[in-house]
Each structure stands twice: as structure tokens, then as C-alpha cells.
Amino acid sequence: MAIRKVGVLGCGLMGAGIAQVSAAAGYTTVVKEVAEDFLKKGFVNIEKSLAKLVEKGSVTTEQRTQTLSRLLGTTKFEDLADCDIVIEAIIENLDSKRETYALIDKIVKPKAIFASNTSSLVITEMMTATQRVDRFIGMHFFNPVPLMKLVEVVATITTSSDVIDEAMKFGTSLGKVPIRTSDRSGFIVNRLLVPYLLDAIRALEEGVGSVEDIDKGMKLGCGYPMGPFTLLDFVGLETTYYIANIMFDEFREKRFAPPPLLKRLVLAGHHGRKTGRGFYDYSDPANPKPAF
Ligand code: CAA
């Protein structure tokens, strides 16, 4: 089955990015949000991202116009009915996801593929809310979606091989490099990234180095594009805390256990860039200062 029309559930940071790359790749793309306000916010982010890409010369003004013309925002599930693939990027909450999947399973045509962008939940647990266990897969994109080249394609024990091939092909058509992985919490990237980020916090707690020096260490010593604390603030501390807890529940290994300092920062509402404070203070966003 050829994919022509793409549905995206959620127009937050990830959903907006996925919708953008889908429309840019030539697919008619319908994005569903719970309310108009969220849609508006998501579309503003898409326009900002396209403006940056035009400014850099990687997208022409004509391509930007075409991309936007292929995007349709909606608050109605019914508008996803004839999509060939629906990529879900709603809140990372298993009950909300299962509820949504059970609902769209009755609305979206039976041949359509359902793909979850979850970063840590078990795909199999979402899949069982539907009747299409052979046409259910994970497609995990990375932030910022328009720039990051990777997509993890996550097969469950019941995903059909045709659907895996289709998802790999679709990922490539979006300009991404797909890698195949199995349904283990965190997949490949977060399995390795999350313990590294948590270890940076432990190193800070133990006085091994300051926020700035640990960041410099990994940036300049290992060539990482961002140090661990810059990345933690970028991903969001509440998101990392949530993912770590899910992975800890799955594997019961200390390396996935969130350190106390991360919990305290999340409790205090210091979630990183989005709240203006995390491991850095973003009062002057162009010039972040270590928060402690
Ligand atoms: N759309 C379009 N352009 C964007 C953009 C977006 N969403 N975000 C940033 N840019 C542009 C910037 O405007 C900038 O353009 P100029 O060069 O013209 O100024 C350019 O990209 C580079 O950005 P910056 O100068 O801000 O910084 P940078 O050179 O460090 O690049 C980055 C930014 C690509 C994000 C790079 O820092 C990077 O690769 N960081 C690591 C990100 C990462 O690890 N992401 C994965 C997070 S984990 C995850 O997503 C999974 C999970 O489950 C938690």
C-alpha cells in the first residue's frame, strides 16, 4: 500500500515537527489537536522553523509555500479517516494513548498503519488497544525533528514485515535515516542516552565538576553538539524524569533511576528551556547562565 496521506496526532513540539517534515516531503498531512489554540501554537512553530530553513537557504520560499499548502489542521478525529498512516505524538501518558488508539481504530480505515512517536512507553501496550496489531509500529523521531536525521522504527512481536518495510521506506522518504529496533523501553537511543544524562547529574551531585565544566568536557572532549546539561534543558527535565522512571520500571536497573536533584528540579517547576530555568537560567535566552 502506498502512503499518500499522513495523519499526525498532536501538534506540540514533536507533532508539529513530524507534520512539517511530512508536508515538506510532499504528503498531504492532517494534524489533529484537542483545541484550536494548540493547533495555532503548533502552526506558529512550523512557520518559524520554515522561516529559519528559508533564511539558511535549505528551503526555497516556493517550497515553504507548498509545504504549508499541504498541511491541514483539525480538531476532529474524523478528518484522519482516510489517512494511510497516522503518527501519534500526544502526551506521554499510556491511558491517554490507549484511549485515543481505541477511538481512532474505529474511525481510520483498517489498512492504515498506526505509528507511535513515544520515546519510552511500550509499543505493545498501546497496540493492544486496537484491532490492528499487525499494522502497529513505533516511529520515534528526534528533537528538533526538521534537523535531526534519525528515526527509530520499532517493531513489536506482531508487526507484519510489510508494515516494517513500509515504515522504513516512509522514514527515508521524509529525508530521515531509519534504524530498526525492537519494543524494549527506550529503544536504541534512549537506552544509551538516558543513563548518560542521569550520570551527568550524579557527577554534578558528587562534585566531580560544575554544570559548565561537565558540559564543556563532553562538547570539547568528545565532540558532542551539546553538553549533557544543555541537552537536558533542551529535552525538558520533566520529560527526562518521566522517561527515566518508565525505563527504571521496565529494567529495575540503577542506571535508569532518576537522581534526587532531577526530581527536586522537576518538583520546583524548573523544567529547562521551556520554563526559563533548569540547569541553566535563561533570563537572557541568548546567554544562559548556570543556575547553581
Ligand atoms: N527548525 C529549523 N531550524 C532550526 C530549528 C528548527 N526546529 N532549530 C534550530 N534551527 C537552526 C537554528 O536557527 C540555527 O540556524 P543558523 O545556523 O542559521 O543560526 C541552526 O539550526 C543551528 O542551531 P543553533 O545555532 O541553535 O545550534 P547548533 O548549531 O547547536 O544546532 C542542534 C542545533 C541541531 C539542535 C544541535 O545542537 C544538536 O544536534 N543538538 C543535539 C540535539 C539532540 O541530541 N537531540 C535529541 C534529543 S533526544 C530526543 O529527541 C529523543 C527523546 O526521546 C528524548
Torsion angles phi and psi, residue 116, rounded to 5: -100, 140
Compute, in angstroms, the gap from residue 236 CA to the centroid of ligand 1.
14
Concerning whether 96 is annotated as a catalytic residue, the answer is no
Around ligand 1, the residues with Cβ closer than 6 Å are 49, 52-53, 56, 119, 142-144, 146-148, 190, 225-226, 231, 235
Q: Which protein residue's CA is at the shortest distance from atom 11 of ligand 1?
A: 52
Predicted TM-score of the model (pTM): 0.95
| Catalytic site includes residue 152 | yes
**pLDDT of res. 292:** 86
CA proximity to 243, closest of 291, 198, 183, 182? 198
Residue recorded with cell 540547569: 279
Q: How far is the CA of 144 from the centre of ligand 1 (A)?
A: 6
271 is known as an active-site residue = no
The residue nearest atom 54 of ligand 1, judged by CA position, is 235
Distance from the CA of 20 to the center of ligand 1, in angstroms? 15
Summarize pLDDT for 109-121 with one digit per residue, the tens.
Answer: 999 999 999 999 9
Distance CA 42, CA 14 (A): 9
**What is the spatial distance between Cα 86 and Cα 112, in angstroms, rounded to a whole number?**
7
Nearest CA to ligand 1 atom 49: 142
| CA 13/CA 90 separation, integer angstroms | 10
pLDDT of residue 13: 93
Per-residue pLDDT of the chain (292 residues; tens, 9 = 90+): 799 999 999 999 999 999 999 999 999 999 999 999 999 999 999 999 999 999 999 999 999 999 999 999 999 999 999 999 999 999 999 999 999 999 999 999 999 999 999 999 999 999 999 999 999 999 999 999 999 999 999 999 999 999 999 999 999 999 999 999 999 999 999 999 999 999 999 999 999 999 999 999 999 999 999 999 999 999 999 999 999 999 999 999 999 999 999 999 999 999 999 999 999 999 999 999 999 8
Cell 512539517 sits on residue? 20
Instruction: For residue 65, give every residue at least 6 positions away whose Cβ sits within 8 Å of its Cβ, in sequence order, or none.
Output: none
Q: Is 140 a catalytic residue?
A: yes
Residue 273 is predicted with a pLDDT of 96
